[in-house]
Amino acid sequence: MGAQEMHPDPEQDRAGNSAAPVGIVVGVDGSDHGQCALVWAAREAERRRRPLHIVTAYSVPIFAASGLDGGYATVDDSVIREGAEAIVKQALDKVSGYNIEVDGSVENGDASGVLLEMSETADLLVFGTRGRGGFVGRLLGSVSSALPAHAKCPTVTVPLVCSDRLGETTEDKRIRAEQAKPGHKQVENVVVVGVDGSEQARIAVLEAADQAERLGATLRVICAVPQFSGSLAWVPAPMDRKALFEDIRIQLDAGMAWLKSHYPNLAVESELLDGSAVDVLVEASRHVELVVVGTRGRGGFTGMLLGSTSGGVLHHAKSPVLVVPDRDDPRLADRAQFGPIPGAA
């Protein structure tokens, strides 16, 4: 069991020169969604042997008065803070059995802003797909949509449908109906990553490979090729789809050879599929441990697999989704040695 500590007073923390949180940061708000994110984050902290920081954030509401003597009235900060502190304390108690160092804090401010600032020093941010809102200023929900696109570190969004995988329960009837479907609990020890031939996708692949190694899982690299639509009416001549697939397969195989050179002991497989990237990745998420995407891509093979797709996957995935931001990685330098790169001159 690791050490536990709570920092309920931000002013006191600043006076004590407390360091910005490192390791895994998880946002909680007392909801079932937050509980799932908390459990996933604690397990990940244990896998990585990194500290876990639990945070909740709140904003004090300000109400405009009506009438001739109008002004502004504020809610008592102490009552709200006490509730927020209780949520963090409950979360600390919940993960007390994990072999990790863990602490918690209550922050006054917009939840997205708080977590975005923490992403500057964290290894990973974790949160649920939505929350109950309330006094924590919608820590989850709106955050899970906005933060992955702007965070400086990778983020993981944990959907409530994963609650039974994590030993959690929920009274949400829609989620319980989904969990009751045949085959729901048949989860392969596989990490799926979506690629589109862009450099951003290669960054996501490297992060996915690291995660697969931590899980002792197989890495499945998926490239989805959608049907041409009216949005591609500018294409000057009919494209031979068979030839397109053959060309993509050559480039995908080159990418796989490059990946294996950096992860020789990792079980890796690839799939080249016909269909919408969102549909393909959401379907894959039903029976795998994790889906990984980049924040954006240039299109590459598949006409924007990443970017707009990452948002669609986040909203509909049945597994946790890891979103990887742009970053430099020296391992990208030798990719050209293994074969053709999409779009390269």
Query: Per-residue confidence of the chain (345 residues) as pLDDT tens digits?
Result: 566 666 654 444 444 445 789 999 999 988 898 999 999 999 999 999 999 999 998 877 655 555 555 555 556 678 888 989 999 999 999 999 999 999 999 998 888 888 999 999 999 999 988 654 433 444 445 565 678 888 999 999 999 999 999 999 999 899 999 999 888 888 999 999 999 888 889 999 999 999 999 999 999 999 988 776 544 454 444 557 788 888 889 999 999 999 999 999 999 999 999 888 889 999 999 999 999 998 865 544 444 344 567 777 888 899 999 999 988 999 999 999 998 887 665
Predicted local distance difference test score (pLDDT) of residue 108: 86
Instruction: Compute the distance between CA of residue 217 and CA of residue 263 in angstroms, rounded to an integer.
Output: 13
What is the chain's percent helix, strand, coil content, to nearest 5?
A: 40, 20, 40
- Whose structure tokens read 């504020």? 74
Predicted local distance difference test score (pLDDT) of residue 305: 42
Classify residue 227 as exposed, middle or buried by CB count within 10 Å of its CB (0-12, 13-18, 19+): exposed
Instruction: Compute the distance between CA of residue 77 and CA of residue 98 in angstroms, rounded to an integer.
Output: 33
pTM of the model: 0.86
Instruction: Compute the distance between CA of residue 211 and CA of residue 320 in angstroms, rounded to an integer.
Output: 12
Residue 108 structure tokens: 């006054």
Could you give the C-alpha distances from 37 to 103, 164, 170, 218, in angstroms and in order?
16, 12, 13, 23
Q: In order of start, what are the domains of the chain with their CATH numbers?
A: 19-62+74-180 (3.40.50.12370), 186-340 (3.40.50.12370)
